Amino acid sequence: MDRKDLCLLIIAFILADGVDSMSKQQLKNSGKMFKKQCMGKNKVTEDEIGEIDKGRFVEQQNVMCYIACIYQMSQVVKNNKLNYEASLKQIDIMYPPELKDTAKGALEACKDIAKKNKDLCEASFKTAKCMYEYSPKDFLFP
Question: Measured between alpha carbons, how far is 22 from 36 in angstroms, rounded to an integer?
Answer: 20
Closest CA to 66 of 32, 107, 35, 31: 35
Question: Measured between alpha carbons, how far is 36 from 49 in angstroms, rounded to an integer?
Answer: 11
Does the reported pTM lie above 0.85?
no
Which pLDDT does position 11 carry in this prediction?
A: 45
- The pLDDT mean for the chain works out to 86
User: Considering the chain, what percentage of its residues have pLDDT values greater than 90?
Assistant: 68
When comparing pLDDT for 24 and 99, which is higher?
99
Question: Measured between alpha carbons, how far is 58 from 95 in angstroms, rounded to an integer?
Answer: 26
CB 95 within 8 A of CB 27: yes
What domains, with CATH codes, occur in the chain? 3-138 (1.10.238.20)
Q: How many helices (H) and strands (E) does the chain have?
A: 8, 2
Tally Cβ neighbours within 10 Å of residue 126. 20
